[in-house]
């Protein structure tokens, strides 16, 4: 019947004459609505990003005055463990005695610490293999074959500069961005 088929046949008739006004308006309406729908997707996805209160905790200040030489503390930053270690002279020497070419992820202790504060080794307590928390920060824990940290999940050994030396982990323990606000306060993040 006429009514049913008009739309299609009309389009066909006029195809030779280029895009007609009615087609243009239909295409414009549909694409405009489509653009709106796409724009709506942004907030729908963005709501999953960290919220303002989570971002507000993105940096912390830690008082390190109570950490004796040779000791380490575990603290938490962005809900992840942070190891803050006050290295002994022996540990510093041990770390510096390793040739960088031997390392899987070549970095010197100086690369990983603040100048003048080389005894303060601040790393994430997250094994770079699959994210377990390595042992060695608390007193009495196994420090592994290289006297740093040892991840019990799959046997990664880190040295005194928290560099990967043995085991499956691909990179050194990550050093978060940090800054000494004073001799006793460090800001992480």
Which C-beta is closer to other proteins: that of 23 or that of 118?
23
Which tokens hold the place of 97? 């005695």
| Residue 154 known to be catalytic | yes
CA–CA gap between residue 60 and residue 77 (Å, rounded): 7
Report the nearest approach of other proteins to the CB of residue 146 (Å). 31
List contacts with other proteins (CB under 8 A): 1-4, 6-7, 10, 21-22, 25-26, 28-30, 32-33, 36, 39, 43-44, 46-49, 51-54, 56-57
Report the nearest approach of other proteins to the CB of residue 49 (Å). 6
Choose the catalytic residue: 129, 154, 157, 178.
154
Task: Give the chain's end-to-end CA distance (angstroms, integer).
Answer: 72
b vs e for 72-100, b when ≥16 Cβ sit within 10 Å of the residue's Cβ?
bbebebbeeebbbbbbeeebbebbeebee
Which C-beta is closer to other proteins: that of 10 or that of 130?
10
Q: Which residues are catalytic?
A: 154
């Amino acid at each position: 019947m006429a009514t049913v088929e008009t739309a299609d046949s009309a389009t066909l008739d006029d195809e030779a004459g280029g895009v007609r006004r009615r087609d243009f308006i239909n295409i414009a309406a549909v694409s405009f609505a489509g653009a709106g729908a796409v724009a709506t997707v942004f907030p729908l996805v963005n709501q999953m990003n960290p919220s303002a209160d989570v971002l507000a905790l993105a940096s912390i200040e830690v008082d390190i005055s109570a950490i004796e030489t040779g000791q380490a503390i575990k603290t938490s930053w962005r809900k992840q463990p942070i190891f803050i270690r006050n290295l002994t002279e022996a540990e510093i020497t041990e770390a510096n005695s390793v040739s960088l070419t031997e390392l899987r992820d070549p970095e010197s202790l100086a690369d990983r610490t603040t100048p003048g504060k080389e005894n303060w080794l601040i790393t994430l307590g997250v094994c770079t293999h699959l994210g377990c928390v390595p042992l060695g920060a608390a007193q009495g824990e196994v420090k592994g074959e290289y006297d740093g940290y040892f991840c019990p999940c799959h046997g990664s050994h880190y040295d005194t500069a928290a560099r990967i030396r043995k085991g499956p982990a691909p990179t050194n323990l990550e050093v978060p961005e940090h800054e000494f606000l004073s001799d006793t306060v460090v800001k992480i993040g």
